[in-house]
A and B are shown apart, each in its own frame.
Chain A
């Protein structure tokens, strides 16, 4: 059942990216173009997501366990360090350059867009490099 739940969660998330138009890098770049022609839509996506997920998270985390898994498993990392800042700076620069972040980039593979496929392959190279260099903030 947890396999089905993973698939369904991904599908719902992917539909959310389409409805919110965040799958379109032009919309994301419009949000980041604060000093030019600004499109505030992305802020409303985050608000919509948080209005639902935040209260539900705080309710559900008090359950004994998730329905299809043995225990809750999420990061409680509180370290605010240079890796957090360096990583966020690199991510912000890449996000501003391409207008793509991991979710929309992977979702847009559905459209067989060669540009987003090139982006995703390159992103996986980045994931792999951080793993082999053991430079992640999460471990």
Chain B
């Protein structure tokens, strides 16, 4: 193992901003952010549908506002084929709904309220993600 591209300061700062979003949503609307849940509920649940839709819209507007105000380009590098991304998307959609959360819902909101099931979920998906990347690099 060698460490590369490590950016602790932007990472921590961005993390604090994400934490702030969780606090604002909880203080004002009384709900904890879990993006897979919010996105899935826009599709399948009538309850809070417009709120959830607006949250997702905000997720998309955020990067646009950032670019407009800072004049900085956002770097997104995707080096996978369509077919791999479609399989990945399907697995993420199925997995997050079966387990009831993703990186935000289990990894931040769940761990933040000391939920054991979220801690177990987060450790599991991180280990499996690491194994997946390890195998992918072998092929």
Task: Spell out A's residues near B (CB within 8 Å).
Answer: 1-3, 5-27, 29-30, 32-54, 56-58, 60-61, 63, 65-75, 77-80, 83-103, 105-111, 113, 115-116, 118-131, 135-138
Distance between Cα atoms of A116 and B89 in the complex (Å):
9
Question: Which A residues touch B36, using CB under 8 A?
Answer: 102, 127
Question: Which B residues touch A8, using CB under 8 A?
Answer: 24, 58
Do residues B137 and A33 form an inter-chain contact, with CB atoms below 8 A?
A: yes
Partner of B35, one of A71, A106, A110: A106
User: Quick one: given A10-B62, A53-B112, A102-B104, are A21 and B97 in contact (CB under 8 Å)?
Assistant: no
Question: Which A residues touch B8, using CB under 8 A?
Answer: 40-41, 44
Question: For chain B, which range describes its interface: under 10, 10 to 19, 20 to 34, or 35 or more residues?
Answer: 35 or more
Do residues A126 and B77 form an inter-chain contact, with CB atoms below 8 A?
A: no
Do residues B18 and A108 form an inter-chain contact, with CB atoms below 8 A?
A: no
User: Quick one: given A9-B24, A51-B16, are A110 and B96 in contact (CB under 8 Å)?
Assistant: no
Do residues A32 and B89 form an inter-chain contact, with CB atoms below 8 A?
A: no
- Within the complex, what minimum Cβ distance (angstroms) separates B125 from chain A? 4
The chain A residue sitting closest to B8, CB to CB, is A44
Query: Number of residue pairs across A and B with beta carbons under 8 Å?
Result: 525
Question: Which A residues touch B23, using CB under 8 A?
Answer: 52-53, 56-57, 60
Question: Which A residues touch B3, using CB under 8 A?
Answer: 37-40
Instruction: Give the interface SS of chain B, mostly helix, strand, loop or mixed.
Output: helix
Partner of B15, one of A48, A91, A106: A48
Task: Spell out B's residues near A (CB within 8 Å).
Answer: 1-8, 10-33, 35-37, 39-40, 43-44, 50-52, 54-66, 74-80, 82, 84-100, 102-104, 106-109, 111-117, 120-122, 124-134, 136-137
Partner of B63, one of A52, A63, A100, A107: A107
Do residues B107 and A46 form an inter-chain contact, with CB atoms below 8 A?
A: yes
User: Quick one: given A16-B15, A98-B80, A130-B97, are A91 and B56 in contact (CB under 8 Å)?
Assistant: no
Do residues B11 and A20 form an inter-chain contact, with CB atoms below 8 A?
A: yes
Question: Which A residues touch B103, using CB under 8 A?
Answer: 95, 101-103
Distance between Cα atoms of A92 and B56 in the complex (Å):
22
**Most interface-central of B87, B93, B116 (chain A CB within 10 A):** B93
User: Quick one: given A9-B55, A10-B59, A92-B125, are A47 and B12 in contact (CB under 8 Å)?
Assistant: yes
The chain A residue sitting closest to B115, CB to CB, is A78
